[in-house]
Structure 1
């Protein structure tokens, strides 16, 4: 890359960052209609457009409340936000270019009537190929109750008024630039970034955040001598031509718009000033789950929290080292992160990757690693980013093949020389690493397990975090603890972590992150709570259940986003992570299940929960219902799941391998009516007792369970005998389905089952018994004779309902 000599005059990183975050905040004020438009228009008459005038007015008012920026810095911010659509200096041009790249997805649409004040934010899940239903969010703050989009939501009341005053109060109290980003997320996540004749599926928060990320990259490119005023002008001119091309193609109603745009970009907008970084923590599953079954609850939770915090702190370490900001972390969750950086950071990134790899090897040997890959981004990649997103994943996968390269080059012996077994060596019972000082944890009255300092620290981590209200994250230059613990790793990265159970005593600190609490200045999302129960307490008669799920066809989902700009791709990722890292956890709280369901992990696109079978069964149905609404009822957005039941002392790692097998079964089964259509999603099922079911079939199982439970409850003295009869009936007369396609019912077997169930010796509750038989019979009759959809494909529904009930009544 060729260096340029031009450096921006008086370029200030903090000014660029705050300007880019606030450049469009005038839209918030303007739409509220709480300010006299003529006054604003006359006061800033030299500014061409309306919302920059309001942005400038907003900044000038804010500068009177915040003192951690100088008067000169506020004057520069005011100038930049006011003139970002008509720039006449270099730093304002940076914001203009960042603004344009962050809104590359915008496309005009025909509107008969247009009321920009009441235009709502459309769900990103609505704007996909094969699906175009209009689901929108109410204009509101970010919290649990406001996360569900509504179909063609219509509200004639100006909703901006309801949240404006609290927004102005909160943003006037921010104490650093990071708090500005969090306040924008709280108040602007459901405000559309653009309303006038554009599709409104990107929030003002997501647009402002990406604009800030791009602006900081351009700032660093200029600082390092790789972009100057002439280059900025050239890129802006090319973008203007591209916008004309897009408008022409839209006016022509060109169905091949995406392909035409790809062709157009082959020889245009080729400047490379950005890189997309992806990080991936490898070895997570074995690391978390390879623990003894006894005392597993704390060890699992501690390890899960450690991976969650490690992922976030590695991402933080990278942005700190590369002179980036929190906004440059486009996504972080599930052991992965994506960071937008400047291209001139390539060499330093390689040094960072080496240091992180060495640090993890020092503490975890080959058991855990962080693979970091990156790809260069052309300016044109901001318009269609799906490919670049995939390429960064491919680069990480390539890195995994040589993940210990740095270790091999510097110390071959660390990986391949055998351990000296001539002397007595004590090893940890969990990680099998050599230990110098013995720590013990009792499994029972007569048995102790030997733990190394690191494994023992994970148990401590679970204890520290289980009732915590907040996390205090501060910078640290050295480790005070000579022991090998999770804290020593964080310290070596340059951070210190402390948990606080008192939400008030730490509220005046600037580096406090409240746990899952949007009603704060900063927050951190994730599952930290540990039930006050052991696995034995959660079990049913020595049986414990696991629920594992993940999103189906995730790669395909990104491919279905219309005009997949970087803004849309990162918005989609954030929304999915928000559901699993926040909404699911809050749903467990709202349903009063915190002490019944043990969330091992929930983030990214996958989940593992442990508890009682019936509780998990009901929760899976509730979660699936909420996910469907959250994703705008888009049939392309589904998740598959598995419910497994094991002895409570069954090795956790073995249970997880079995759960992976069951989940694979859920994703691989294809019903006969799914083979010839792409509209009905494959996968989208749940396996329980080794039987895969559709979610509709699971609802039938729940209905049968409820009837069986009521019937058994009326016959407590014969409950075991009756239940055995039902189980035998459902097994003896299977299969009920015949035919070459498996879609023809065997009438004779239905009547035999009816006769067999009637034979249960019970005259007292004949009505309840008949209800069970009738429900089961009507399900099949409706399914095979009176329904085109035929929702029941697996005839084991009664059998599974009875097995769930069998586990429930054993302890009663």
Structure 2
């Protein structure tokens, strides 16, 4: 690594990150500047906000070497003089991907001053969004008290509310930035300062538009500024004369000059690594393994940035086993060496179970314009898929030979880990259950990640002052590697802490991320310590004293183990706590057509900042709001949900089956208003029910297949002649579109959705004490109907001339009316039941072939909720 190269990249990134910060002060109504805004000032800065940027950066920057120069680089991007000014100007233009507008005197002339949701400008599922909804102007302070009205996009605010919000945001940002400056006043660290500042910008400018004068206000100041910072850091290595650089900055949209390298990373082997574990120790180990993969992805991204002498601003996104970052155009050779070193590190610790595909794609200046960045993003994704299919191909022949050597001894149960099933020399009995043998890796996933996460308030990253020497080859090993040893080879140490009181002093840089708002308020930056907020769906149910009292004896009889207050709640206990039948629910869900959304959704509007904004908006939902929903349900419904993973665009939950279904409904229900009511932004989900001892690895596969069935399902609505696909859920083996499954409960008796029908049946059976014969009738008729439909589908006669499903008439029609008539006569004296049964009969008579799909599902659903005492396996 070159210290000089890295320091210059940091300073240019800092200038790029702050180049538009003057807009915040201007919009807050504070127009006081160090100079009078006259003709001379206009010639020097071009825009009034640039002059304010000059003043702000001067107030914020600690006395680093060249801090005066950085102040000018940030402020002079509209009137560049020096080479660095032109670099920031070029980075600004590439980030926004659009031509500069004329220079008006009044920068406050147009409305709205709020950030238009990025979901209002994308085409998704071949549909455009006709709504114009705006993010609330507030700090990113998501917590359990936050409501959807406070956080979701909505109508434009009144001017007084907008002005007041800008004033509050600017005041808080300025105060925090001044505190940060003070922390670095006596010999701080530039890299640490930049990272803390990046988190401040995220918190206070995530919903602030970067521009709204003659511009579509859909890119936040945070996303535009961080992408400008990333570009400024990589453009410095361009082999261009000052004259050539000025020409490029003037018209980048016409140039084929390579300016950057888009780098992607994709972790493979994830499914087998997480799910191929036994039920012994699975509760904590599963969460530990899942979170370790998140840490590993981020550690690898940090490692690459450090090897390339690039700042944290160049990490575009990391989550879900993937990362994207921006490197220099001439970094390809270095990237190939880094890819080799990472492969050796992962093989030496995981013996081929995990592999990180890394690929880079050159970007020319013109690729940042006219929507071309989307096709480049897609091209990189395709390149990563090719690399994943050629795992470890980058290894030399001497290393590859090691991959095909025999692993372990085979068949030695005494050396086999009871959790992961692999043989190791260092397997030993579990201290709490001698019958269970664990390797060091599984033990560390459970004891050092899974268990601490249940009470964690802070995630602490310590970075080695110097990166470790990369391994010179691969080796087979009969011993397991604790997770910390893997991250150490990538130059990082991670601590999962409930308190910071006993944390040792760092040897190098430290990053402390608060996992909740209360913890964030306790953090203060220091010369070697960056601080920020980490959104994490850390939902872990714990055993309570009430659980021990109510279920302890029965649990011990069933499992031979005792319940321990404060421990992670075992799957068997959550199954016992389910309403109705004792089952766990396993939920898997993700956003439909996400690859297509990034590749085509923004069309010609695609810019680097918009792609970053779209990625950030999706991750905020799955890493932020999903956690709020799950924690609220655990607080009100008895702590019966367990988040295995939620991030990127997908999630995986386990819990009491009835709670898992309710959570899935809420997540899909809230996605539409969060996505600015875009009809093409939706998810598909699969839910399976299992017994408490059913292998979780198999359950994960079952839920995955259910999710795929939902994505393949074709369905029609009343407004379309062509079928829809996806936006569906598979539950109890039946696939329904979400609109027929039901995301909201009707205020009146209704049979338009399965959920409304369930509410009717539950009320009929529980409150009105009606006979369960209605449930049995619905299930028998549905069974006969489905058998006939299967025969029709196999013969290709299920669709009419209009290519829509056509009605299938048969004995089920008149049998249904006959059975309902009998039930009505049974309740002649109970008018409410009789009236509801008449309504159901009429609804089914009008469209039996449509409604039987969700009415029968509701019947099965109600039956399971009313059943008790069945502990048979899946």
Superposition TM-score, scaled by structure 2 size? 0.80
In structure 2, the residue matched to 1:389 is: 377
Question: Residue 453 of structure 2 aligns with which residue?
Answer: 465
- Cα 1:343–1:743 change in 2 (3 A) is same
Secondary structure at the aligned position of 1:550 is classed as strand
Matched, 1:766 2:830: yes
Tell me, yes or no, if structure 1 residue 490 matches structure 2 residue 547: no
Matched ranges for 1:215-230 at <5 A: 215-219=232-236, 221=237, 226-230=239-243
Say whether the 8 Å CA contact 1:11–1:91 is kept in structure 2: no
Contact 1:105–1:567, Cα closer than 8 Å, also in 2: no
- Is the 2:18–2:74 contact (alpha carbons within 8 Å) kept by the matching residues of 1? yes
Q: Which residue of 2 aligns with 1:803?
A: 860
1:158-173 matches, within 5 Å, as: 158=163, 159-173=165-179
Do the aligned residues in 1 keep the contact of 2:642 with 2:654 (CA within 8 Å)? Answer: yes
Partner of 1:773, secondary structure, is helix
Tell me the secondary structure at the aligned position of residue 693 of structure 1.
Answer: strand
Distance in 1 between the 2:485 and 2:765 partners? 56
Q: What aligned pairs does 1:380-459 form with structure 2 within 5 A after superposition?
A: 380-383=366-369, 384-407=372-395, 409-419=397-407, 421=409, 426-441=415-430, 448-459=435-446
Counterpart of 1:289 in structure 2 is 275
Out of 114, 117, 124, the residue aligned to residue 118 of structure 2 is: 124
- In 1, Cα distance between equivalents of 2:773 and 2:101: 68
1:394-433 CA-partner distances (Å, limit 9, x unpaired): 1111112221224462334422223574996823234343
Q: Are the structure 2 counterparts of residues 74 and 408 from structure 1 closer, same or farther at C-alpha, using a change threshold of 3 Å? A: closer
**Given the alignment of the two structures, is residue 584 of structure 1 paired with residue 626 of structure 2, yes or no?**
yes
Of 58, 61, 68, the residue aligned with 1:60 is 58
Asked whether the 8 Å contact 2:716–2:724 carries over to 1, the reply is no
In the TM superposition, what is the alpha-carbon distance from 1:588 to its structure 2 partner?
A: 1.2
> Which residue in the other structure is 2:741 paired with?
698
Give me the whole-angstrom Cα distance separating, in 2, the residues matched to 1:359 and 1:229: 42
Deviation at 1:389, TM superposition (A): 0.5
Partner-residue secondary structure (3-state), 1:337: strand
Given the superposition, is the C-alpha separation of residues 599 and 426 from structure 1 closer, same or farther in structure 2, using an over 3 Å criterion?
Answer: same
Q: 2:249 aligns with which of 233, 236, 247?
A: 236
Residue 639 in structure 1 maps to residue 683 in structure 2: yes
1:713 shift after superposition: 1.5
1:545 partnered with 2:591: no
Residue of structure 2 aligned with 1:335, choices 311, 317, 321: 321
1:268-307 matched pairs, under 5 angstroms: 268-307=254-293
Gaps of 5+ in 2: 184-192, 469-478, 524-530, 543-568, 743-752, 790-797, 870-874
1:211-262: CA deviation from partner (whole Å, max 9, x where unpaired): 000001113x15xxx34423312312333xx4xxxxxxxxxxxxxxxxxxxx
In the alignment, structure 1 residue 324 sits paired with structure 2 residue 310: yes
Across the aligned residues of Structure 1 and Structure 2, the Cα RMSD in angstroms comes to: 3.3
Change in Cα spacing, 1:756 to 1:442, as seen in structure 2 (3 Å) is: farther
SS at match of 2:622: helix
Within a 5 Å distance, the mapping from 1:334-353 to structure 2 comes to 334-353=320-339
Paired with 1:353 and 1:390, the residues of 2 have a C-alpha distance of 21
Structure 1 residue 133: Cα displacement: 2.5
Distance (Å, rounded) in 2 between the aligned partners of 1:318 and 1:185: 23
**Partner SS for 2:426:** coil
Q: Gaps (5+ residues) in structure 1?
A: 1-7, 243-267, 785-791
Deviation, 1:382, is: 1.3
Distance 1:435 1:780, change over 3 A: same
User: Which residue of structure 2 aligns with residue 252 of structure 1?
Assistant: none
Following TM superposition, by how much is the alpha carbon of 1:765 offset from its aligned partner in structure 2, in angstroms? 7.8
Q: Give the Cα–Cα distance (whole angstroms) in 2 for the partners of residues 528 and 9 of structure 1.
A: 38
CA distance in 2, matches of 1:612, 1:768: 32
> How far apart, CA to CA, are the structure 2 residues paired with 1:529 and 1:73?
45
> Which residue of 2 is the match for residue 150 of structure 1?
154
Contact 1:334/1:604 (<8 A) preserved = yes
Matching of residue 82 in structure 1 with residue 99 in structure 2: no
Alignment-derived partner of residue 254 in structure 1: none
Task: Indicate yes or no: 2:723 matched with 1:687.
Answer: no
CA distance in structure 2 between the partners assigned to 1:435 and 1:34 by the alignment: 66
Distance 2:49 2:650 in 1: 40
Deviation at 1:526, TM superposition (A): 2.5
Distance 1:672 1:18, change over 3 A: closer
Deviation at 1:128, TM superposition (A): 2.3
The residue number in structure 2 matching 1:191 is 208
| 1:796 positional shift | 2.4
Could you tell me how far apart the structure 1 residues matched to 2:177 and 2:708 are?
47
Q: Distance in 1 between matches of 2:712 and 2:98?
A: 35
Give 1:513 shift. Answer: 0.9
In the aligned structure 1, how far is the partner of 2:423 from the partner of 2:505? 43
1:211 aligns with 2:228: yes
| Between 30-39 and 594-603, the greater mean CA deviation after superposition | 30-39
Counterpart Cα distance in 2 of 1:621 and 1:277: 36
Q: 1:513 to 1:40 in 2, by over 3 A?
A: farther
Distance 1:619 1:473 in 2: 32
Contact 1:317–1:493 (8 Å) recurs in 2 = yes
Q: Report deviation, 1:576.
A: 0.9
Residues 135, 153 of structure 1: 8 Å contact kept: no
The equivalent position to 2:711 in structure 1, one of 640, 648, 667, is 667
Match of 2:557 in 1: none
Q: CA deviation at 1:38?
A: 10
Give the direction of change, closer, same or farther, for the CA distance of 1:531–1:719 in structure 2 (3 Å limit). Answer: farther
Q: How far apart, CA to CA, are the structure 1 residues paired with 2:97 and 2:462?
A: 36
Change (3 A) 1:217 1:752: same
Give the Å deviation of 1:707. 1.7
Conserved 8 A contact 2:828-2:834: no
Name the CA distance, whole Å, in 1 between partners of 2:620 and 2:845.
Answer: 42
Q: Report how far residue 557 of structure 1 moved.
A: 1.3
Q: 3-state SS of the aligned residue for 1:759?
A: helix
Find the residue that maps to 1:128 and give its secondary structure.
coil
Report the equivalent of 2:512.
512
Among 840, 843, 848, which residue is 1:776 paired with? Answer: 840
Please tell me whether the aligned partners of residues 202 and 222 of structure 2 are also in contact (alpha carbons under 8 angstroms). yes
The corresponding residue for 2:746 is none
Which of 545, 562, 567 matches 2:609? 567
